[in-house]
Structure 1
Amino acid sequence: MTFKTASAALATAITLIAGSASAETFRIATNAPDTAGPGLLLQEFADAVAERTEGRVSFEIFANGVLGDQTEYFQQLQSGVVDLGLVNSATLENILPAIGVINLPYMFRTKEEYGEVMSDPELTELLFQGAEQQNFLPLGFLSNGFRSLYTTRPVTSIEDLRGMKIRTMSSNTYIEMLTLFGAAPTPMAFGDVYPALQQGVIDGAEGTLSTLYDLNFGQAAKYGINTEQTRLTDFVVTSVDFRNAISAEDYEIVREEFGNISQKSLDVIDEAFAASAQRAVGEFGVTITDIDKTAFIEAVQPMYAAAAQDDAKRTVIEKIFAMTDRELQ
């Protein structure tokens, strides 16, 4: 081999090694399945980033909670073991209390209102103040649809809920909300909801009406009520290490592509949930009714007053109300 040929071969090897070193696969953790909704959107995001960065940034998605529940893999994210994670607003509220504002009932009245507010950079900054000090950063949101009520007997007004045992998450916000509705909030693991409905342990639950079909809940709970009290937001957050591991240009691509996915989720998720709810009507004989929300909105006003006692939360409430033509009472 001539010196010239050897030099060329060495240069090629160095180029290949350098190219390999600059490309890295990062880990995304989610408890969502990879076959629908958020899982599919995360895969679309990963594919778009890999294409735009020409493989410099690629992702492997660990779906279905294989890296643990949200609390477990969020802790791994903070320590840099996981790079991105899907974490809902109820979980994040425990770390950054200002995020609790978007969990308040009737903070958002329409999907369009929600999309406008959640896409506002100033609001994101207010919600995630202090996040970097906790070793994570916001990337964007995924719409998770409105949460309503589904029950084993008809509900036509707020009075009908009095004393009904309604399953909820172990969240102080949701427990207080149901208490103000007059119900008996019953925190319970999500996996226990179906047998509890069947056996009469609970009279209903709060959540997306899509579960009436997607998880067969409509076989036990024959009544869906469009109370549309909250939108539990799924956020995707990144580790600080992830931001520092890639170039500023590639990080901007990551942010742009997830911004596209956030906007897409507003239609994709809501339409999928609505379609599933209608399948429950057709296949399980579920009755879904609209309801006058006035009494529900009035019932939870003390929650706004209490939240406003915290300066950080008050700032968020006032920001959202200014964007949606309301005033804090």
Structure 2
Amino acid sequence: MRNKIRKILCVVLCVGLIAGMTTGCSGTKQASGGKKIIRVALSQSETHPEYTGMEKFKEYVEEKLGDKYEVQIYPNELLGSQTKAIELTQTGAIDFVVVGTPNLEIFADVYEVFSMPYLFTSQKAYYAAMNDSDYMENVYESTDETGLRVVTWFDVGTRNFYAKKPINTPDDLKGLKMRVQQSPASVKMANAFGAAASPMSFGEVYTAIQQGVIDGAENNELALTDNKHGEVAKYYSYTMHQMIPDVLIANLKFLNGLSEEERQVFYDAAEVASETERDAWTTEVEKAKKTAEEDMGVTFIYPDISLFKEKVSNVQNEMLDANPDIRDLYDHIQLYNKQYADTKEEK
């Protein structure tokens, strides 16, 4: 029922957004008092750290430019799946959208590197690489020709498998239909583990597990609670196979249409949002684990990760051979992996 309601709301809102395109050259509608409405779409709920971060984004923009802009946030895929929301951002019907980097692979194949299994060896290496703004700016600009520009990143933790049955070794994944993100690399990874990869929109996962269309999925701990997946999948296994950032994408035409001062406000607001989200992440993960375990009956499993790494040991080289555009970023990340080689992951 909730998926039907979401789809109805999505259709109504999207029709309204498309109709709003006729009100201005970039689709920006006017709020009361002549302010321009800035629309932000994300797939997460109002309790997710990303939503908290975007609330700070809204506060910052309206504090600095409140006489000109009103920021409206649409969570829970209200404006459609991440793919659909990106398309609306391209047209200017949406000004900003938060998505996972696999959704950008079709716009700039350098983003495929983030779907590589065990790309980062620790959270410290991950943070250091992503916070290397001088380098990452070149990556963010790679989608300019498509009308999109990444302005910051969000930490969404490590991705792990969860299912209706325990997963202690890769053998336990054999034959299981597991939802993965809509990325060729993620599909290849899941298949290498022995699972049957099933790419689908995040908003469809709960019902798919509930109805037996799939046996489980892979995501961070907040999916268990924020998205209620712990109601239908009772075993969460720390395979820690990926650290895939989410990113905040802007419509490039909108950014270029701002004055230099206004553009800086939006970039500063994005940085505030990113810092707020990352500060909240660890706390929210611990809350989610406690809720999932005590209230939802989820069992957390800590397998031998080396067994899983062995299964996908060839995937990195295959990806590098197939897509030379990821080589430079991959090598850059390895510098940080070496710098933080002695760092141990916390579970």
Scaled to the shorter chain, the TM-score interval is: 0.7 to 0.9
Distance 1:45 1:161, change over 3 A: same
Corresponding residue number in structure 2 for 1:50: 62
Corresponding residue number in structure 1 for 2:93: 81
RMSD: 2.5
Distance 1:222 1:121, change over 3 A: same
| 1:166 partnered with 2:197 | no
| 1:320 partnered with 2:333 | yes
User: Which of these residues, 193, 196, 203, is aligned with residue 184 of structure 1?
Assistant: 196
Per the alignment, in what secondary structure is the counterpart of residue 308 of structure 1? Answer: helix
Per the alignment, in what secondary structure is the counterpart of residue 221 of structure 1? Answer: coil
Corresponding residue number in structure 2 for 1:311: 324
Alpha-carbon deviation of 1:132?
1.5
Corresponding residue number in structure 1 for 2:77: 65
Per the alignment, in what secondary structure is the counterpart of residue 325 of structure 1? Answer: helix
Residue correspondences, number: 307
Output the CA distance in 1 between the equivalents of 2:79 and 2:262: 26
Output the CA distance in 1 between the equivalents of 2:92 and 2:296: 45
Corresponding residue number in structure 1 for 2:105: 93
Q: 1:145–1:231: 8 Å Cα contact kept in structure 2?
A: yes
Letter in 2 for 1:72: K
Alpha-carbon deviation of 1:140?
0.5
| 1:37 partnered with 2:58 | no
Output the CA distance in 1 between the equivalents of 2:43 and 2:224: 20
Corresponding residue number in structure 2 for 1:4: none
Corresponding residue number in structure 2 for 1:9: none
| 1:135 partnered with 2:135 | no
Output the CA distance in 2 between the equivalents of 1:197 and 1:71: 21
Output the CA distance in 1 between the equivalents of 2:172 and 2:268: 46
Alpha-carbon deviation of 1:92?
0.6
| 1:114 partnered with 2:126 | yes
Output the CA distance in 2 between the equivalents of 1:186 and 1:300: 18
Greater shift, 116-125 or 181-190, is seen at: 181-190
Q: What fraction of aligned residue pairs are identical, expressed as a percent?
A: 27
Greater shift, 112-121 or 57-66, is seen at: 57-66
Greater shift, 40-49 or 255-264, is seen at: 255-264
Letter in 2 for 1:323: Y
Letter in 1 for 2:293: V
Alpha-carbon deviation of 1:142?
1.6
> CA offsets, 1:40-72, max 9 Å, x none?
211211111221345344422233333332222
Corresponding residue number in structure 2 for 1:203: 215
Q: 1:115–1:266: 8 Å Cα contact kept in structure 2?
A: no
Alpha-carbon deviation of 1:176?
0.8
Write out aligned runs for 1:280-291 (5 A).
Answer: 280-291=292-303
Alpha-carbon deviation of 1:110?
3.0
Output the CA distance in 2 between the equivalents of 1:291 and 1:199: 27
Distance 1:225 1:100, change over 3 A: same
Greater shift, 185-194 or 45-54, is seen at: 185-194
Letter in 2 for 1:267: D
TM-score between both structures, scaled by the size of structure 2: 0.79
User: Which of these residues, 222, 237, 242, is aligned with residue 254 of structure 2?
Assistant: 242
Output the CA distance in 2 between the equivalents of 1:53 and 1:200: 49
Alpha-carbon deviation of 1:120?
1.3
> CA offsets, 1:161-209, max 9 Å, x none?
2223322233222211111112222334545534443454433221223
Alpha-carbon deviation of 1:226?
0.8
Per the alignment, in what secondary structure is the counterpart of residue 61 of structure 1? Answer: strand
Alpha-carbon deviation of 1:314?
0.6
Distance 1:24 1:202, change over 3 A: closer
Structure 2 stretches of 5 or more lacking a match? 1-31, 340-347
Alpha-carbon deviation of 1:222?
2.1
Output the CA distance in 2 between the equivalents of 1:240 and 1:141: 17
